[in-house]
Structure 1
Amino acid sequence: MHFWLAWPLSLLAALVPVTAHDREVPAGRQADFAAAAREFGVPQSVLLGVAYLGSRWDTHAGRPSTAGGYGPMHLVDAVPAGAPTPGDALGDARGDDARPMPPRPVHMLSPLSAAAKPPSTTLPEAGRLIGVAPARLRDDPAANIRAGAALLASYHATQSAGRSASSDPADWYDAVARFSGADDPAAARQFADEVFAVIRAGMRRRTDDGYLVSLDPVPGLRVPRAHREPYPEEDEDVVFPDSDDTAALYDPAEVTAASGRSSSAECPASLACEWMPAAHERFGKKGNKDYGNHDRLFKTRHVDYIVIHDTEGGYQGIPTMIRDPKYVSWHYTIRSRDGHVAQHVKTNDLAWHAGNWDVNTRSIGIEHEGYLAKGGAWYTEAMYRSSARLVRYLAAKHGVPLDRAHILGHDNVPGTTPKTVAGMHEDPGPYWDWAHYFELMGRPLRGARKGDSVMIRPSYDDNRPRFTGCVTTKAGKECPPHGASTVWLHTAPRENAPLVSDIGKHGDKASTYSVYDHAARASTGQRYAVAERRDDWTAIWYLGQKAWFRNPAGRPVAVPAKGPLATPLRAGTRVYGRAYPERSAYTKAAAQPLTPLQYRIGPGQTYTVGDTITGSHYSAGALSPSRHVTTTGTTRYHQIQLGHRIAFVMAKDVRLIS
């Protein structure tokens, strides 16, 4: 059994505390699933499992998913308007001063590109089966569940040659696979496998509109034998390094099986993946030395980070975009509806995705179909599970520790120079469920019994901070209430105190509550040094200042944590967005400037350390990798959690506290 997916129901239940509020909310959603299952002869576990993969049982207030799906059953109506524009499309994805990307207009590709088919619709058919208009299925969760159950039953009837509905969940495997809407049989099987994994483990969760829904575990449920290969139901355990380890142990069989598959994609054997290669060619008129859209390497690359992005659009235009040499690149894209994975760049090659050349040279970038500002609407469970499986495999293969100092959001990548700080990207945003993501990877974000630092760890479903900038209403641009992974940081221990300031993001202007503004936020899994405690409030060191957040003992949003810390030796200590070597180290390539960011830190302040590295620079100013040059110096850097983003300090400028 996949140990990182099979969380016991009792443990998951413990993550959702039952409060007086819970007891007051009627169990309507659970009753809706039960009634629909009885009416159409669908095993309740199957109906709940399918809905969980598509929506985590949420309604999203009638808003469509990236794929055009609605309601708890994620019934797809039509492809939403809007073309995909992965975050780096609006900026310099290389982040290389020596070779900046020339400004180009954003590609306005049709989301129904000829390179990809639109998602198949299910909502109209489901509505016809129960005689309900499509509009009602978008807004009425109970009707949506009934229609989804009817659709599942119709698929089962077709594939069982009209025999009466089976009460054995295993007999519904083909119907579940078809419900995914995936054209690729392997992707459809993967969706069904994940549904069965949820059913085996059980699940309990509070929905976005306040209902507690439970799926009792069915531990003996097996994938039908005919569907077990080539995606085995069971993997061997993989042991990951702690934050300060330098190498990972992994199951050689899983990696060997993946590398030996007919597909060129680098994926675990248990994950259906597609090889969709990015362009690597010259472009322009004769004599033009520019090329795209990634760099190929002739020697083994060291990987320190895996960077999580969202596409800010639908999957349909991705094939055309990734094959354009004038565009940007990233290593993988994951589709929201069914968790399908496409790889574009080999992990040993260098994609242009993070907007910071140093981070690009040491990272793997993964795009996820979704929107930052849509309230977590449709970062689907299918996508989370495929991504967790992929990251777990990549971390083992490349020796990347599974912690928030190395599994970064694009919003955690630092600017390269003071000029670029304000324009760095914000995806995947506050609605990405980091705690759930790490649970799926088998490395839950736990703290320590005692420690001089804290790990931000609010309950995602219960933590519903105020955000603006999602939708325009009569009341303004307030975002609908929704679970989130971040906490607001104030200048003093009170709710009405101003938010802390970020001179790099806003200059002398105040921080805002915009969903796009990370200037005064700390995110789940990030570790910070404690500066002070006062009543229900905790202060952390953040961008050279004390930043306060409410952290009551009875309902904490942070937990004690341990790990190395660094304190500056002198006032005005500089921080950097890149760990580049000293000028004297460059003998075969042009020297890169050691440009500090606009932030300064000083004695009395303390910052958590996520890694320690030696400065290096990779020069890739030519199409041929034989002309690339690596420069390694002697300057040592500590990676610190400066604010919402990481940064680097020279080891000589700080004192390390173990």
Structure 2
Amino acid sequence: MRPALILATVTGLVLGVTPASAEPADQARQRDFRAAAAEFGVPESVLLGVSYLESRWDANAGTPSTSAGYGPMHLTDVRTANTGGTHHDEGTEDPRGDDSRPRLDPEPGPPVEQLPKLQTVNNAAALTGVSTEDLRADAKQNIRGGAALLAKYQKEIGAVGDNAADWYGAVARYGGAGDTGSAATFADEVFATINQGVERVTDDGQRVKLAATSVQPNKQQLDKLGLRKSSSDNTECPRTLACEWIPAPYQELPDNDYGNHDKANRPESQEIKYIVIHDTEGQWDGVLKMVQDPTYVSWQYSLRSADGHVAQHVKAKDVAWQAGNWFINAKSIGLEHEGFAKLGTWYTEAMYRSSAKLVRYLAAKYRIPLDRAHIIGHDNVPGTTPATVRGMHWDPGPYWDWAHYFDLLGAPFRSTGNLGLVTIKPDFATNKPAFIGCVKAGEPCTPRGSTSVILHTAPDANSPLLKDPGLRPDGSPGTMEISDHSSRVETGQQYAVAEVRGDWTAIWYLGQKGWFHNPRKAPNAVGGVGFVVTPKQGKATVPVYGRAYPEAAAYPAHITPQALAPLQYTFSAGERYSLGQALQSEYYWATTFDPANHTVVRGKTKYLQIQFGHRIMFVNADDVDVRPSFWR
């Protein structure tokens, strides 16, 4: 060893300076951010803030996001991600789900063109000299690519200096928005994160910290980006969220048909009880084209992945054709998030935050409780009749982070005591079920964090999965296919405890005991207390329903009564299911273009919503008893 090197090493040891090579391995990403910020002249806080809003600093195993973004900096490469497809182009669900009208089978829209904003990886490659492959797969190079883009955007608006406050315009440009409102929403969230500070452990075990720093950004830079002016006029959104009004057409069509939603007067005519979380299974521009097609279907809001931009299409007072179950449609608001459950893609922090702001606003306005009995996924909506169960959609899928989402909603899932209920809550980062079929049938999906917990027929990981006669009418057990939730529970859902054996907990699920691994040191659920539903004494079984419709006597003469069709499941004596809410029986008759003819039919029958399986279902209140969850 040369004398100078010996002296430097000794000096470092004496002064307590840790050589870079000896710094903790779990801080490598922190060092990568620091180095990239210095190399390209970007304030480190800005680089960290932008990355957090895109990916929460995760690497996501080099797989693309819902908008074709890769790595911590969300460099987009739609050609490689191949996130094509159209809105729900798989499945046989009738989105309207109303038996009084002909089945609705909308044609999928045209494939989406590959837009330049979805190819930022090429610009990053040109700026850094790094291949697009390495920019996608190597987190360090990905961070360098993102820093280079930010520096380029800063130069283009003529701003100089290393003061974070002077980087507002570059940050707004990075989000990719085409309008001032959306660009500002993204930049405001980035700078709010910088001011608040945040630290976490990433999906690959890296410890990253953004120290809280007081910054008042120069928002006048937004005018230098050449974006179109936006307005939230006519939208129903919180003030802190830029929304755009892109109406779904209410239009008469040939053959006494009309589309693509129904006029109503909610909540005066009917209470809004649910908010339904969907993903689009299509890219943003194509999905917007489809919702503006009067022959297609509709939903209230769309949310864009890259920057969290929100578009509203249907007023909350009106009924969108979105959930495949007319009872749920008539009592819900639907939010479509740009994403691909089928491909196993991940969702951006920007979109989670916009969605949480919107849901908090809607929940407060319509008095909707912030829990998983009322804030449901499309995959939690039941089939209307036995014939429709199998074709129901299953988005947003097992990679939507319900725990993080409810943290953002201000309603985190916490233990309330081990009193007969459990709330499913695995550790998202380390819970990686071995799903198959994300890209090709039968092939393993890329391992990634999930909110799903798998159920078995016995307290043994090698035992078979449960059976779902609605999804698998041949009687075969569930599988690990990404779309098969025959034997799967999701974070935030509550179930009644049936039995406990060591590290395993059994819950009641579709008329069976479903066992899941639940060790004390790494639990997949937390204890809870509430109310459970069980058959009345003397009843061997009670029917379960996919909709809470009135009895036949409640319908006026001009409206044909809707069939009370029990689903193909068995709810037997001795079983218990968690109570979600009590509901009055209702049917919204809306079969004509003139809303003056629409009628809300209310019956005397009362229903109780229960968490019967992966999906919610309903039972006649007269068939069951309601007990405290700790009752035996």
Among 577, 588, 602, the residue aligned to 1:607: 577
Q: Secondary structure at the match of 1:353?
A: coil
C-alpha displacement of 1:226: 4.7
2:315 corresponds in structure 1 to 346
1:579 corresponds in structure 2 to 548
- After the TM superposition, which residues 3-82 of structure 1 pair with which residues of structure 2 at under 5 Å, given as runs? 25-78=25-78, 80=82, 82=84
2:565 corresponds in structure 1 to 595
Quote the Cα distance in structure 2 between the aligned partners of 1:215 and 1:326.
48
- After the TM superposition, which residues 461-500 of structure 1 pair with which residues of structure 2 at under 5 Å, given as runs? 461-472=429-440, 476-500=442-466
- After the TM superposition, which residues 230-379 of structure 1 pair with which residues of structure 2 at under 5 Å, given as runs? 263-284=233-254, 288-298=255-265, 300=268, 301-375=270-344, 377-379=345-347
Using a 3 Å threshold, how does the CA distance of structure 1 residues 279 and 225 change in structure 2: closer, same or farther?
Answer: closer
Q: Is the 8 A contact 1:303 1:362 kept in 2?
A: yes
2:20 corresponds in structure 1 to none
Among 136, 139, 145, the residue aligned to 1:138: 136
Q: Is the 8 A contact 2:167 2:218 kept in 1?
A: no
C-alpha displacement of 1:121: 3.8
Among 598, 603, 622, the residue aligned to 1:633: 603
- After the TM superposition, which residues 632-651 of structure 1 pair with which residues of structure 2 at under 5 Å, given as runs? 632-651=602-621
C-alpha displacement of 1:211: 2.3
C-alpha displacement of 1:614: 1.0
- After the TM superposition, which residues 404-415 of structure 1 pair with which residues of structure 2 at under 5 Å, given as runs? 404-415=372-383
Code of the residue aligned with 1:458 in structure 2: it is P
Deviations along 1:378-416, one digit per CA (max 9) or x if unpaired, are: 311111011001111111111111100000000000011
Quote the Cα distance in structure 2 between the aligned partners of 1:517 and 1:628.
37
Match status 1:193 vs 2:194? no
What TM-score results when the alignment is normalised by the length of structure 1?
0.86
C-alpha displacement of 1:135: 2.9
- After the TM superposition, which residues 115-130 of structure 1 pair with which residues of structure 2 at under 5 Å, given as runs? 119=117, 121-130=119-128
Among 395, 414, 418, the residue aligned to 1:427: 395
2:112 corresponds in structure 1 to 111
Show structure 2 runs of 5+ residues with no match.
1-22, 224-230
Match status 1:514 vs 2:514? no
The Cα RMSD (Å) is 2.1
Deviations along 1:290-325, one digit per CA (max 9) or x if unpaired, are: 111100114634100000000112111122211111
Code of the residue aligned with 1:513 in structure 2: it is M
> Which 10-residue stretch deviates more, 351-360 or 143-152?
143-152
Q: Secondary structure at the match of 1:450?
A: coil
C-alpha displacement of 1:626: 0.4
2:493 corresponds in structure 1 to 526
Quote the Cα distance in structure 2 between the aligned partners of 1:224 and 1:568.
63
Match status 1:177 vs 2:172? yes
Code of the residue aligned with 1:482 in structure 2: it is R
Quote the Cα distance in structure 2 between the aligned partners of 1:326 and 1:36.
50
Quote the Cα distance in structure 2 between the aligned partners of 1:81 and 1:50.
23
1:389 corresponds in structure 2 to 357
Deviations along 1:510-560, one digit per CA (max 9) or x if unpaired, are: 211111011101100000000000000000011111110000011111001
Among 155, 158, 166, the residue aligned to 2:156: 158
- After the TM superposition, which residues 546-557 of structure 1 pair with which residues of structure 2 at under 5 Å, given as runs? 546-557=513-524
Code of the residue aligned with 2:482 in structure 1: it is V
1:236 corresponds in structure 2 to none
Match status 1:221 vs 2:191? no
Quote the Cα distance in structure 2 between the aligned partners of 1:298 and 1:524.
33
Quote the Cα distance in structure 1 between the aligned partners of 2:99 and 2:90.
16
1:212 corresponds in structure 2 to 207
Deviations along 1:4-26, one digit per CA (max 9) or x if unpaired, are: xxxxxxxxxxxxxxxxxxx9854
Among 557, 577, 586, the residue aligned to 1:616: 586
Match status 1:444 vs 2:444? no
Quote the Cα distance in structure 2 between the aligned partners of 1:627 and 1:71.
53
Q: Secondary structure at the match of 1:54?
A: helix
C-alpha displacement of 1:55: 1.9
Q: Is the 8 A contact 1:87 1:310 kept in 2?
A: no
Quote the Cα distance in structure 2 between the aligned partners of 1:655 and 1:392.
33
Q: Is the 8 A contact 1:416 1:578 kept in 2?
A: yes
Q: Secondary structure at the match of 2:37?
A: helix
Code of the residue aligned with 2:493 in structure 1: it is Q
Q: Is the 8 A contact 1:335 1:369 kept in 2?
A: yes
Q: Is the 8 A contact 1:84 1:315 kept in 2?
A: no
1:254 corresponds in structure 2 to none
Code of the residue aligned with 1:555 in structure 2: it is A
Quote the Cα distance in structure 1 between the aligned partners of 2:409 and 2:465.
33
Deviations along 1:213-249, one digit per CA (max 9) or x if unpaired, are: 222223x3334465899xxxxxxxxxxxxxxxxxxxx
Q: Secondary structure at the match of 1:559?
A: strand
Code of the residue aligned with 1:388 in structure 2: it is A
Using a 3 Å threshold, how does the CA distance of structure 1 residues 627 and 498 change in structure 2: closer, same or farther?
Answer: same
Q: Secondary structure at the match of 2:203?
A: coil
Q: Secondary structure at the match of 1:478?
A: coil
Using a 3 Å threshold, how does the CA distance of structure 1 residues 657 and 169 change in structure 2: closer, same or farther?
Answer: same
> Which 10-residue stretch deviates more, 69-78 or 556-565?
69-78
Q: Is the 8 A contact 1:87 1:427 kept in 2?
A: no
C-alpha displacement of 1:347: 0.7
C-alpha displacement of 1:88: 8.4
Q: Is the 8 A contact 1:112 1:118 kept in 2?
A: no
Code of the residue aligned with 1:109 in structure 2: it is P
Q: Is the 8 A contact 1:416 1:577 kept in 2?
A: yes
C-alpha displacement of 1:160: 4.3
Match status 1:398 vs 2:396? no
Q: Is the 8 A contact 2:398 2:450 kept in 1?
A: yes
C-alpha displacement of 1:605: 0.9
Quote the Cα distance in structure 1 between the aligned partners of 2:130 and 2:295.
47
Deviations along 1:156-191, one digit per CA (max 9) or x if unpaired, are: 233344x3x22x322211110011111111111111
Q: Secondary structure at the match of 1:616?
A: strand
1:505 corresponds in structure 2 to 471
Quote the Cα distance in structure 2 between the aligned partners of 1:616 and 1:353.
18
Code of the residue aligned with 2:72 in structure 1: it is P
Code of the residue aligned with 2:586 in structure 1: it is S
Code of the residue aligned with 2:143 in structure 1: it is I
Quote the Cα distance in structure 2 between the aligned partners of 1:225 and 1:642.
50
Code of the residue aligned with 1:424 in structure 2: it is M
Q: Secondary structure at the match of 1:365?
A: strand
What TM-score results when the alignment is normalised by the length of structure 2?
0.90
Quote the Cα distance in structure 2 between the aligned partners of 1:517 and 1:24.
41
Q: Secondary structure at the match of 1:549?
A: strand
Quote the Cα distance in structure 2 between the aligned partners of 1:425 and 1:276.
25
Code of the residue aligned with 1:126 in structure 2: it is A
Q: Secondary structure at the match of 2:570?
A: strand
Using a 3 Å threshold, how does the CA distance of structure 1 residues 620 and 227 change in structure 2: closer, same or farther?
Answer: farther
Quote the Cα distance in structure 1 between the aligned partners of 2:327 and 2:389.
15
Deviations along 1:418-437, one digit per CA (max 9) or x if unpaired, are: 11111111100110000000
Moved over 6 A (4+): none
Q: Is the 8 A contact 1:312 1:369 kept in 2?
A: yes
Equivalenced residues, count: 591
